[in-house]
């Protein structure tokens, strides 16, 4: 069982009533990598930043792969379930109750965030994926994703997260009832400043909806 006591991570409560950002780093990163994004995305928000549990040549990752862009889908499924379980236990452990949780992932972190959105939408009903792609090749997605929302940010010439795969994951999310906001820019792998601004506006609009309901 993965718990806040056993999974390396960082937590900051933030201001009362603010969302909590689940920060998911890319390959080779760690729990510190996306902290500079937190205040730019949602000033005053809390954050939960775990470390990817898989090692690949000394680099932290969220799941195994057989090669560039070729994922061990069985491991993706397993790790998405582990992450969802960790999130739910952290929610109880840190007492952030019914505050809105927004998953924010980059690259490999975006892929595990998307896997969790597809398989365990209750863990993080709001997801932002920077340079992500479809992580569940060959699997049938049958979850009801109505009430969830996902923002995709991708580059048209991203060799690591091909735009066709990003388009596909958006279509699959929509087919299961999710609200999908697609954002495509020129360029390759990474997080562009305009995407940070767009993601910040998206968080504001989508967490406000929750507070107003």
Pairing label, strands 179-185, 126-130: unpaired
Structure tokens given for 189: 């792998």
Given a contact cutoff of 8 angstroms between Cβ atoms, the answer to whether 2 and 93 are in contact is no
165 given a catalytic annotation: no
- Name the catalytic one among 18, 25, 107, 131: 107
> What is the CATH classification number for the domain harbouring 83?
3.40.50.1820
Domain assignment of residue 4, yes or no: no
Residue with tokens 């040549």: 57
Residue 3 lies in a domain: no
Q: What's the pLDDT score for residue 145?
A: 97
Which one is catalytic: 9, 39, 181, 189?
189
The three-class DSSP label of residue 98 is: coil
| Distance separating alpha carbons of residues 102 and 195, to the nearest angstrom | 16
32 catalytic per annotation: no
1 is a domain residue: no
Q: How many domains does the chain have?
A: 1
Q: Is residue 40 part of a domain?
A: yes
Alpha carbons 51 and 31: distance in angstroms, whole number: 5
Distance CA 152, CA 182 (A): 5
Which class for 207: exposed (0-12), middle (13-18), buried (19 or more C-beta within 10 A)? buried
Residue range of the domain that includes 74: 9-212
Note the pLDDT of residue 208: 66
pLDDT computed for residue 49 by the predictor:
98
- 107 an active-site residue? yes
Looking at residue 1, its pLDDT comes to: 58
> Which member of 18, 33, 131, 158 is catalytic?
158
Is 24 among the domain residues? yes
- Three-state DSSP class for residue 202: helix
Mean pLDDT by 10 residues, the chain (213 residues): 86 93 98 97 97 96 90 97 96 91 98 98 96 95 94 97 97 97 97 97 83 45
- Supply the pLDDT for residue 116: 98
Q: What is the pLDDT of residue 3?
A: 81
């Amino acid at each position: 069982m993965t718990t806040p006591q056993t999974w390396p991570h960082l937590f900051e409560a933030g201001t009362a009533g603010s969302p909590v950002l689940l920060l998911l780093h890319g390959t080779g990163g760690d729990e510190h990598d996306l902290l500079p994004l937190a205040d730019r995305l949602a000033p005053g928000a809390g954050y939960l930043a775990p470390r990817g549990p898989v090692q690949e040549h000394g680099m932290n990752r969220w799941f195994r792969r057989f090669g560039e862009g070729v994922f061990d889908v069985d491991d993706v499924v397993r790790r998405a379930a582990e992450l969802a379980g960790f999130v739910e236990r952290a929610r109880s452990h840190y007492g952030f109750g019914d505050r809105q949780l927004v998953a924010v992932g980059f690259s490999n972190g975006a892929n595990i965030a998307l896997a969790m959105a597809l398989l365990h939408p209750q863990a993080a009903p709001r997801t932002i994926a920077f340079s992500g792609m479809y992580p569940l090749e060959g699997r049938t997605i049958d979850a009801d994703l109505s009430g969830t929302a996902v923002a995709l940010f991708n580059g048209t010439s991203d060799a690591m997260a091909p735009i066709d795969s990003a388009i596909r994951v958006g279509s699959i999310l929509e087919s299961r009832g999710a609200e999908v906001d697609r954002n495509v820019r020129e360029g390759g792998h990474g997080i562009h400043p305009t995407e940070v601004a767009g993601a910040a506006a998206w968080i504001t609009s989508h967490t406000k909806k929750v507070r107003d309901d």
